[in-house]
Amino acid sequence: MSSLILLVVLTIKGVLGQRIIGGQEVKSYFIKYQASIQYNNFHYCGGTLIHPQWVVSAAHCWKPANLLKVVLGEHSFSSLEGFEQEFNVSKVLVYYMYNYMTFDNDIMLLKLERPAILNANVQPAVLPRVDTSPLQQGTACTVSGWGVTNIFSYYLSPVLRAVDVNVITNCQYYYYFRITDNMLCAGYSFGGKDSCQGDSGGPLICNGHFEGIVSWGISCANPNFPGVYTKIRMYLSWINWIIQNDS
């Protein structure tokens, strides 16, 4: 029964997404790669622009392409600022080994109907190199999104927010058998800062590189359970192959 309860908790967090807890509003258009993935014109997951026509998000955010819209150059949902770029989605590609029960390989690619216009407000994130040294314990990273800002709230933030978190390499200590080589953890041992509902699929940036996708966890900003992210480095070959071969 306890394992079933754990699975339900993990699934709820994954499906609802993730939120920024303990962070602050970012300067308008400072995070130029942030994407808002919308369903019925409402934000429900984050994403990361990695190419003028491709956005990366979490596989558990999947919905049919014809039901989705991607917005780049967004800061505040409460006002039309004039820098937004809206796109229909022509294709959604979920990684073929994604496991919806465990959230292993929690990654998907969204192809925009047309290339984004790269400018002062919209730029792709920088992918890490395959041969880059592994992230070390305590490496400072930033996660961003429009998720709710209070653990007990289900209201999304109207503005883009971000929070700094640290890489935690001994994540098996917190989650035991749940962590795979395709995941990385970030947060604080004392809790208080995390991503949560509404941030799922959004970017984790470390040392200027796009290293993780907001994926899952138990509760939010919990001192015993750091946030878990899909490790981008494990999918560089797949990402590059798709972009180069999908015309």
In our burial notation (b when 16+ CB lie closer than 10 A, e otherwise), range 142-158 reads bbbbbbbbeeeeeebbe
Is 13:229 a contact under the CB 8 Å cutoff? no
Lookup result for tokens 């390989």: 105
Q: Within its chain, how far is the Cα of 91 from the centroid? A: 19
Helix or strand run (H / E) with residue 201: none
In angstroms, the first-to-last Cα distance of the chain is 48
Beta-carbon neighbour count of residue 15 at 10 Å?
A: 13
Q: Annotated catalytic sites, by residue?
A: 60, 106, 200
Residue type, 47: G
Q: Which two tokens stand for residue 224?
A: 């015993």
